[in-house]
Structures are given as C-alpha cells and as structure tokens.
Chains A and B, each alone.
Chain A
Amino acid sequence: MNRTYDFLVIGAGPAGMAAAATAAKLGVATLLLDEQPDPGGQIYRGIESRGQAGVEKPGVSQADSARGLRLTQEFRASSAAYQAATQVWQLEAGGKVYVTNGERASCISARRVLLATGAMERPVPLPGWTLPGVMTVGAAQILYKTSQWLPPEATWIAGSGPLLWLYAAQVIEAGGPIAGILDTTPKSNYAHALRYTAGALRNRAYLDRGMALQKMVRKAGVRIVKDVSAVEAKGDEHVSVVRYHAGGHWREETVAMLMLHQGVVPNAHATRSLGAKHRWDALQRSFAPEVDVWGNLSVEGYAAAGDCAGIVGAEASAVQGKLAALEAARAIGVITQEQRDVEAAPLRAELTKHLPVRPFLDQLFAPRASLLVPRDDVLVCRCESITARQLRDAVGLGAMGPNQVKAFTRCGMGPCQGRLCGLAAAEVIAAARGVGMAETGVFNVRPPLKPVSLGELAGLEV
C-alpha cells in the first residue's frame, strides 16, 4: 500500500534512530525504514536481542552497548513509525521512495527524506580474497554481535583500522582465539598523522581507548606483525595459508580463517543513485555526498546524516541525525528557523567532542597505497570475476573512467551492482591512467538499488 509521511528516514543506525526520535518528538509524522530485521545499524547490531538474551556485555564495548541501547529505547519510545526488513530500490526527486518487503513493492512519499545508510568496509582486493574462509573483520563482528560467534583457532587478521583492534579485543575478552594480526598500517602514517595531533588531543578519549585495545590484544599474546606491505590468501577450495611481506621477507602462516579490514567508507549507493553531488575526500580516501551544515544534499528535499555523508563515527552520527531532524521539522513548518537554531546550538557543541580527532585517525589508518592497486591476476569484481588486468586492458583500449570500463568488461554489473568493487575498480583505473580519484570518479548507480522480482513489482500500485 502506498503511504505518505512528513519525514522518511532510511537506515536504523545511530543517525537514523536519533533523527526519527527527534523529529517524532517535535510532532513530525515520521517513518524509519531499515533493511535489517532489528534496529541498531551495524554498529549496534543485535543491540536489543543481546539485552534480552542476557548476554554479558563485554567490558571493551560496554559503553558502546549502553549508548546504543539508550538510543534504541528512545527511538522505540517515540511516536515514529518503524518498518524493518524493507529494502529501498528507487529514490526519486520529490521525495518518492520505492521499497519492497520481499513480497510486495510499494511507494512511500515524504516531504523530507533523510538517508542514513551508514558505512561499509573499504574494498581492498588481494590475491585469494574470494576463497571461502576469508571474510571481513566487520562480517566476523556482525556474527559475534548477533550470535556470539567466535572464530576458529588459527584465525589471522590482516589490515588496518580501529575496528580491527576492537574486534580482536572483543574476541579475546570472550575467550576466543586470534592467532595473529598482520598490521598493514605504513610506518610513515604515524609521522604524517602528527600534524593533526592538536585535534586528536581535543578528543583524548578516542586515543586512550585505541591504545587500551591494542595493549589488551598484545598482552593476550597475539602475534602482531607490523608494517606488513602485502598479503595473499592461499588455498585450494578454502583458505589454508596466509602469505605476507614484512621486513623485506615473504613469510607464511597456516590459517583456518583470514579476516580482512582496511577501514570504512561511506555507503553512498543511495545518495549517488539520487544524482546528488559528491566530493572526493582525500584524507578519508573515499567519495562522500556534498552536504551543508544540516545535512542537506544538492537534491531538494533530501538530506544525509552519519557515516554515509563522510565517516564520523557512531556518536557524531547520532548528533548529525538530530540536526537533520531539526532542519526537516523547520522545512515542514513544525518549528521556526529560530527554534531550530536554538535547539541546534548544544548539538553543534557536542560535535566538537567527536570530530576534531577524525583527521588524525584518517591519516593514521590511511590505507597503504600499494594495497589499493592489486596485481594483474587479482579479482576486483567478485560478482563477474573481473581481474585488475582486465580493467587495465580496458583503460589501454581507451576507456577513460569506471562507467566505460564497466561497459567494456562487465565490472560492476553483477548482483552487487558495483557496491563492493566500485571504489576498488576506480583506484585501479585511476592508477592505470595516472590521474586522481576525483577526476576518475565512480560507477553511476541506477535503480533498482536492490534486486526486485517481477512478482514484487506487480504488486506496486501506480
């Protein structure tokens, strides 16, 4: 059935839940849509069931869990409507949003739409990354959050970024094994990050926590190899060996599982499909939609908040969600511009507790440049099994950017629609052409954003 709301929020992570609760409290008719069966997003995944099941909250993420639960409870207690397990497959100008619950498609119209689609892990293809037994650290953490799954013995982690250390600490605290960590953070990152120390010191808590997590992992006896410059997964039908380069030598370890992580990037599939203007963020090495201080996108009636508009972390995401809700309430006419600004002032002050540290973290965990351009035989597009060599060949034939390369090779045309390979393919193409990422750009995104069956479409009232 087609419906109309004042304010439609897409994504039930911290930004979306905070936005929906804030708007509903102001009397705005609000709907929060989410593709997962429960609220929380990825950061607070399974937050309600973890509470219900009486699972002991690990100390390392106790404060996070408490914050997530509070946010979820505030949202649940609000008058905002909530529709879970629903996928958005098309966004149109004028606030028309097409969705499906897996059985029937419908259209939701809203005066204001907020995209709070969060982050995804940066795709960094490496030899053997398609082998069963290789998954992302984020994937393993989702399994831990939803079903307390712990990895097998001889699990190695390779990559860089805060999530890597958090996950390792969580596993150790829960009594699980992590055999070793191959830290690909380049040594030079530490020196480069120093220029952002002033900002980092303003948000000291982030640094203290990061150091505490690393210390905990080290104390647990996990083998840590620093300054790893290359990683390969090897195996016949399942990963069995990780091969890596560090200190001028190649070495191998036997593994049962290999988990990869190279930080997170905005999940900008929805904002790109709208045709909103995007910018290349050199420090975060990713594309993000252009937004004003309220999160407004370049497309009328649409806004973005949280990590999908540039990585800011869970706490700042919630604040951005509230700011976007105030702006929506103003645009709808529920509050005046003056009221909006008064309400926003303390929120802006709160952002300064979380944002100054970002450039430091972005630089410290910037992905190693050599890892971003895999060698010729590495699959970049998992869906269509397209190698880096095929992309380079397409560039050699004259393809200028990702969209032409896509037409030449089918890279990005599989079921994931370029979600996973988009940024990785752009890196390969940019390097092959010898131009920057801003000039290279990324795949155009076209509807349907998620696969929709003809049966579901047939149920659409038009």
Chain B
Amino acid sequence: MNAEMSTNLITVYVEGKPLAVHAHDSAAGAALKAGLGYTRTSPVTGEKRAPYCMMGVCFECLMVIDGIPSRQACMVRVREGMRIERQTTVGGVEVWP
C-alpha cells in the first residue's frame, strides 16, 4: 500500500477488534484482512465457511453487519465505525453448539 492510499484509511470493528481498512474495501475484504478465518457457520451443518466468490453470487459471506444479519458482506462497502461480525446463528438462535 503506498503513501497516498494510507491517507484513505478508516476504522471498522471486526468481531469487536478495531481494524484500519481502505475506504473502498468491502466488509468481506475487511474480515479477510482481519484474519478472521471463517465468517459464518452453515445453518444446515454447522461447518465453518468463508467468502468464496466476492461478487455476490455464492452467498457464503453472509455476516452480521451493524447488527443486521444475513448481509452479503462482499457487497457492502465499509463505513467508519462499521461493526462486522460472524454469523453463527439463525434468527438469533444457536442451531449448532
């Protein structure tokens, strides 16, 4: 990242931890940069999943963003102070322990 770009950084909170990201990043990109590993669990099997296509096709990147569940994190651009969290429940209910 060059000097000019670093002036364009904003802070988001990935699983509660602050992270400086580029203003053009997506929430899914921020999760990846945060080293989050997985971003959701499958509501069917509980398996850990992570963004796969990054262009709105696969829906693997569903996350809780600013408290709203099931957002396609690859389609959401970061905003200052955005809270980006893993989606591990269905409608707030833990389906897998």
Contact = CB atoms under 8 A, between A and B. Distances in A.
A142 B54 contact: yes
Interface residues of A, number: 42
Contacts of B32: 143, 149
Nearest to A386: B44
B4 A139 contact: no
A304 B8 CA distance: 37
A382 B52 contact: yes
A148 B25 CA distance: 10
A419 B33 contact: no
A237 B37 contact: yes
Contacts of A56: 2
Nearest to A383: B59
Interface in A16-68: 35-38, 42, 46, 49, 53-56
Nearest to A48: B24
Given A35-B75, A54-B2, A133-B50, A382 B58 contact: yes
B contact face: mostly helix, strand, loop, or mixed: loop
A47 to B, nearest CB: 11
A36 B26 CA distance: 10
Given A35-B56, A382-B60, A132 B22 contact: no
Contact of A385 (B8, B44, B74): B44
A293 to B, nearest CB: 29
A138 interface: yes
A420 B60 CA distance: 10
A208 to B, nearest CB: 29
Contact of B59 (A120, A139, A149, A414): A414
B63 interface: no
Interface string A136-150: 101110110011110
Interface of B: 1-2, 4-5, 8, 21-22, 24-26, 29, 32-33, 37-39, 42, 44-45, 47-60, 62, 70, 74-75, 77
Interface of A: 35-38, 42, 46, 49, 53-56, 120-121, 130-136, 138-140, 142-143, 146-149, 237-238, 267, 382-385, 414-416, 419-420, 451
